[in-house]
Amino acid sequence: MFALHPRLDGDTAFISDWPLCRVLLMNDCAYPWLILVPRRADTVEITDLAPADQAILIAEVARASTALRAQLQPRRINVAALGNMVPQLHVHVIARFESDPAWPRPVWGMAPPRPYPPEELERRLAELRGALA
Amino acid sequence: MFALHPRLDGDTAFISDWPLCRVLLMNDCAYPWLILVPRRADTVEITDLAPADQAILIAEVARASTALRAQLQPRRINVAALGNMVPQLHVHVIARFESDPAWPRPVWGMAPPRPYPPEELERRLAELRGALA
């Protein structure tokens, strides 16, 4: 049975369930930051996924990237599966701008997340649900 | 025509050419750190690859991960396509240990790379060419 890790659950808001992944918004208003979590139990590394699921994973990463690019015209998309803190496999897909607080460095560990103000979170979620549904 | 970005060329040593990617060793003895570069011209984002190449890319990332795990038994494999500094699409595949200098943080921007001493570089390359060829 798939269950979202409590740390991921606490740090994010739900956007959509895709064929493989649960698509989440990281609650950090400094970056447009999606997290894709394959809905498979006991998955830690990419190599824990069957090869067919690995192919779906990268297709869903590409789908998320394309949606962020179309909506936001970022300078780059950063994609990463790290998992040093949270063991459950999850893939960060982050729209990066030369004007963002961490550019050109990676976003992790730069500063504590800045949660969205509630109305801004709802607005961002509505936009992303439109783009990603 | 595929050509390796000069920055990637300068920071790495050649290991192997796989069906899609050139497999490189990052010349930083702090981490067993591979870089996979799709051998396609004008590729910046994952979405610049055709869907069939995207599937090969994740299969090659999995192949590199499996080899590093078998050889080194790391705590985690970190996988990332960032590209904020070097535009050419390249994927980091890094074996992480709780004893490494950056754990549990990501490796980028922690400290300047520490090049391998020449004999250690040759030994590491020989091991990896055996595991990854």
CB A58 within 8 A of CB A19: no
Domain assignment present for B1? no
Residue A110, C-beta contacts closer than 8 angstroms, at least 6 positions apart:
A101, A102
Question: Based on the structure, what is the number of domains in chain A?
Answer: 1
Per-residue confidence in pLDDT tens, chain B, 133 aa: 999 999 999 999 999 999 999 999 999 999 999 999 999 999 999 999 999 999 999 999 999 999 999 999 999 999 999 999 999 999 999 999 999 999 999 999 888 999 999 999 999 999 999 999 8
A43 found inside a domain: yes
- Containing structural domain, residue A77: 6-132
Contacts of B61 in chain A (CB under 8 A): 46
ipTM entry: 0.97
Comparing CA positions, the residue from B83, B17, B74 lying closest to residue B44 is B83
Q: Do the domain assignments include residue A38?
A: yes
pLDDT at A110 over 90: no
What CATH number did the domain enclosing B65 receive?
3.30.428.10
As a whole number of angstroms, the distance between CA A55 and CA A11 comes to 27
Distance CA A113, CA A94 (A): 14
B107 domain-assigned: yes
Instruction: Select from B45, B63, B82 the residue whose CB has the most chain A CBs within 10 Å, as the one to mutate to test that interface.
Output: B82
Task: Please tell me the distance in Å from B2's CA to the nearest CA on chain A.
Answer: 21
Mutation to test the B interface, candidates A7, A20, A76, most B Cβ within 10 Å = A76
Amino acid (1-letter code) at residue B39:
R
Whether B59 is covered by a domain: the verdict is yes
Domain presence at residue A1: no
In tens, the pLDDT along A55-77 reads 999 999 999 999 999 999 999 99
On the question of pLDDT at A133 being above 90, the answer is no
Contacts of residue B10, Cβ cutoff 8 Å, sequence gap at least 6:
none
Q: Per the CB < 8 Å rule, is A47 touching B55? A: no
> In the prediction, which pLDDT does B105 show?
95
- Looking at the domain assignment, is residue B90 inside a domain? yes
Q: Give the residue-averaged pLDDT of A82-87.
A: 96
Find the length of chain B.
133
Residue A115, pLDDT score:
97
At A35-46, the pLDDT tens digits run: 999 999 999 999
CB B118 within 8 A of CB B9: no
**H/E run at residue A24:** strand A21-26
Q: Give a yes or no: residue A64 inside a domain.
A: yes
Main-chain phi, psi angles of A111, to 5 degrees: -160, 155
